[in-house]
Structure 1
Amino acid sequence: MKERDRRWALARKLMDDEGLDGLLVTGQANRGAPNVAPDVYLSNDRAGGWLVFPREGEPILLSWSGLHLICQAVESKRGMTPWIRPDHHWLGRDAAMVKKAFEANGLMSARVGIIGLEPAGPRQESFLSHSAWESVSAELPNVKFVHVWRRLARMMLVKSQEEIEVIRHCANAGEKMSEAFVAAARPGMTEAGVYAQAMAAAFIGGANSAALIIQSGPDNPAWGFPDWLVRPVRSRTLDRGDLVQSELFPTYGLMETQQQVCVSLGKMHPVHQKAAEVAREAYDVGLEKMRVGTTFGEVDDAMTDVVKRAGGWFVTPQIHSLNPISVLSGLSTFGMENFSDAGTYAPIPPKAARNKEIVLQAGMTFAMEPNCHFGDRRINIGGTVLVTQSGPVELNAIANHVVEV
């Protein structure tokens, strides 16, 4: 319960700082094991609930299904101490139940922070549909709602010792996934076969992974889920001379780590070799800069400058925060006019870094993912790094270099 008390104290500090009487925290529909879900962060229960959190008293969790109440009861009998008392765990996630919870806490004419209406990074699972928001607003006409997600997200960036141990376990699961990915990536294997082996390693290790990125080929600049997960086509078969690259997303206990695994089937093409050297240099420069007291922008600028000086381009950022993901995010889509088919699309401008002014603190976690394109040849490496008072700690190893097999 120590971690519950710490997180609830953060929520109440947010309320005090912003002059709020409570919070309404909305979770995303039916998701089994999210990596960043503000409702779960405060409830330690299934995702998809709406949490009414008063400054005084205990929060009320509104769950969308009775299944969640039954799971809580069963798990309590097995020794789990629920963060939300059973009599504060209500069935019904709609405007009428929100009003009932607000009435119970004297919030009908209050100033309340809301989480679920602001833009968020990828997989930050909190949103309220327009129709739901209209219904909530109609039921609570005298409540003054204030957007507070960005402030809470920044507070969440610094992890407790308990959270750090969870992240270490998650990073170890990512290392097992990386091992499985490298072992499976061979000529004659399909992308789907490699994918399956890596995903299985996460589950065997007791972690979760909703998906992973895999792209392959001798000159494939693409990044993102493979076409066979998007439309009904066959999975590509790997061949000698391919680069097989992946981004892994293991999660454990609400925490996420990432690993950018890059496997060369045979000796790398000279252009790939050059890109690999640039990516590794960017990684080393970023690691050297990653110190308590340094701004995020200083780290990102140092990494992107390496790629720019080499004449490379890149789609994804060289670095971004984890837990929550991409609250801090580096420059991306830089130099995309250099990709061979760029002329067939509208101009693609660079996407500016986000929150460059934030100062690094011990307990923050980052995905180091230096990537460099030359023409249509791409290299992406890197794993998860923890900021400590004595310097950065690399939580992964396999993904930090290109693996030749």
Structure 2
Amino acid sequence: MTTAQPERSYRWSRTHAFMDERGLDGLLVFGSDRSDRYDAGQYLGNDRRYQHLVVPRDGEPVMIGFSAQVAAQNMLSKERELDSWIDDLRIGRHTALMPQVAEELGLAGRRLGVIGLGWGSPFAAGGWVPKPTWEAISSRLEGTEFVDVTADFGLLMACRSERDLSRLARAAAAGDQAVRVVRELAKPGVSERELYAAAYASMLADGMRVTWMLMQSGLDNYAWGEPSWLIREEPSRILEDQDIVGFEMFPTFAELNTHINGSVLVGEPPAATLRCAEIARTAYEVGRDLLAPGRSFREVAEAMEEPLAEAGAWHITPHVAALNPLLAGGGLDVGIDRQVPGFAERFPHVDTENALFDFEIQEGMTFSLQPDARLGRHWALVGGVVVATGSGCRELNEVSPHVQHGG
């Protein structure tokens, strides 16, 4: 069965063109263990995350795996006539094997692009290759010209094929279903843990990789992140009347990632919460209507700030994120120092000015529009995955972009 071979041709042909345009004889690709953020090794090998590759301009990639289990799985897939893109797979330390393979392929002393040394995401602004690792490899390849192409290759990866977009739509649908599950369960007396477990189970049942989830609840909760009972030993919060539950889910299918942000209201929330929901929805619509090929990421991010500024609201999470890979996010923590009493005095060094990685939006790029709006300690957020198309922006989520009312 070779259903993915056209996808391999799509990715590899674009990679060869990328090397031609930059005068590169090959690529050294350092894998990442977070394919929801950036993993060119997984993109080119269609295999496990965190494997490394040497990619010659003329010829097929060589994968360097950490264990025989990687090779065994590859071999078993071929025996079962399943898709496997890589034929040449070496097992061992990449500090030794990467320069050895480069020499074997005639790439020593040539001009090589390196993926993993530069901007890979807001979480890996300086790359993810440890200094001793890079020194061990580069010292073995004397006379070789190394060019950091991490950010540029990330933008190439971001333009997804129609096949990938259909996979992404499946992941987005799984996120919507998990939101429905939370909506049905959310009522006074139910714990955060019950909601978290049910949403997680729903996504797993739909065949998703679920890396983690963010969830907070409470009428006047100005925090964000994973529930603290996952981090340290403390009780799971119990929902009360007038509560709101906010979440960010990350269902991933075929290593294509989504950010599903949303809110569920419990009972009859106060007017301030409903106003936050209106502001967040307005910001979502601004992003949706503006996002299109030819626009800049910064232009969309800054436009989504305007409804909050006009309403005197603040936000703690980014309004927009570039997905697959997670190359960029909008500003975060904007206004918390002004609107949460005592915050600025206790944390005077919190930086609320955020530098954006800017780029031109192209057709096939995927994003999460995920605004949250907060008035003092009241809050609400919405969100969903969108795709830049030739005619503008296509929404993949139907449920999460609207605040939901619990059962």
Q: TM-score category by the smaller chain? A: over 0.9
Distance 1:11 1:291 in 2: 24
- Cα distance, 1:175 vs. partner? 1.2
8 Å contact from structure 2 (residues 37, 323) kept in 1 = no
Give the structure 2 partner of residue 5 of structure 1: 9
Distance 2:353 2:149 in 1: 24
Secondary structure at the aligned position of 1:53 is classed as strand
Distance 1:404 1:162 in 2: 34
8 Å contact from structure 2 (residues 219, 243) kept in 1 = yes
Give the structure 2 partner of residue 55 of structure 1: 57
- Which string of whole-angstrom CA distances, capped at 9 and with x for unpartnered residues, describes residues 98-125 of structure 1? 1220121111212211111224326779
Answering whether residue 209 of structure 2 is matched by residue 204 of structure 1, we say: no
Secondary structure at the aligned position of 2:261 is classed as strand
Give the structure 2 partner of residue 291 of structure 1: 292
Q: Residue type matched to 2:10 in 1?
A: R
Distance 1:119 1:364 in 2: 18
Match of 2:29 among 11, 25, 46: 25
- Which string of whole-angstrom CA distances, capped at 9 and with x for unpartnered residues, describes residues 322-369 of structure 1? 1111x232222211212232320024333335244x333221211011
Give the structure 2 partner of residue 14 of structure 1: 18
Answering whether residue 277 of structure 2 is matched by residue 273 of structure 1, we say: no
TM-score (normalised: structure 1): 0.93
8 Å contact from structure 1 (residues 40, 46) kept in 2 = yes
Distance 1:59 1:303 in 2: 41
Give the structure 1 partner of residue 368 of structure 2: 367
Give the structure 1 partner of residue 113 of structure 2: 113
Give the structure 1 partner of residue 262 of structure 2: 261
Give the structure 1 partner of residue 100 of structure 2: 100
Give the structure 1 partner of residue 331 of structure 2: 331
Map 1:149-160 onto structure 2 (within 5 A): 149-160=150-161
Does the C-alpha gap of structure 1 residues 331 and 367 become closer, same or farther in structure 2, counting only changes over 3 Å? Answer: same
- Cα distance, 1:396 vs. partner? 0.8
The 10-residue stretch of structure 1 (175-184 or 197-206) with the greater mean CA deviation from structure 2: 175-184
- Cα distance, 1:34 vs. partner? 5.0
Q: Residue type matched to 1:228 in 2?
A: W
8 Å contact from structure 1 (residues 275, 374) kept in 2 = yes
Answering whether residue 361 of structure 2 is matched by residue 350 of structure 1, we say: no
Distance 1:400 1:61 in 2: 40
Give the structure 1 partner of residue 395 of structure 2: 394
Secondary structure at the aligned position of 2:367 is classed as strand
Secondary structure at the aligned position of 1:219 is classed as coil
Distance 1:96 1:112 in 2: 17
After TM superposition, the runs of 4+ consecutive aligned structure 1 residues lying more than 6 A away are 123-126
Map 1:143-292 onto structure 2 (within 5 A): 143-292=144-293
CA RMSD of aligned residues (A): 1.9
Give the structure 2 partner of residue 321 of structure 1: 322
8 Å contact from structure 1 (residues 95, 139) kept in 2 = no
The 10-residue stretch of structure 1 (119-128 or 5-14) with the greater mean CA deviation from structure 2: 119-128
- Cα distance, 1:67 vs. partner? 0.3
- Which string of whole-angstrom CA distances, capped at 9 and with x for unpartnered residues, describes residues 360-394 of structure 1? 32212110111111112221111111222233221
Distance 2:6 2:242 in 1: 52
Q: Residue type matched to 2:223 in 1?
A: A
Distance 1:335 1:226 in 2: 23
Distance 1:350 1:298 in 2: 19
Secondary structure at the aligned position of 2:209 is classed as coil
TM-score (normalised: structure 2): 0.93
- Cα distance, 1:399 vs. partner? 1.2
8 Å contact from structure 1 (residues 336, 348) kept in 2 = no
Distance 1:192 1:215 in 2: 11
Distance 1:395 1:34 in 2: 18
The 10-residue stretch of structure 1 (46-55 or 395-404) with the greater mean CA deviation from structure 2: 395-404
8 Å contact from structure 2 (residues 120, 154) kept in 1 = no
Distance 1:35 1:117 in 2: 15
Distance 1:93 1:394 in 2: 43
- Cα distance, 1:199 vs. partner? 0.7
Distance 2:347 2:124 in 1: 29
- Cα distance, 1:16 vs. partner? 1.7
Distance 1:124 1:63 in 2: 22
Unmatched tracts of structure 2, length 5 or more: none
Q: Residue type matched to 1:102 in 2?
A: A
Secondary structure at the aligned position of 1:278 is classed as helix
8 Å contact from structure 2 (residues 245, 263) kept in 1 = yes
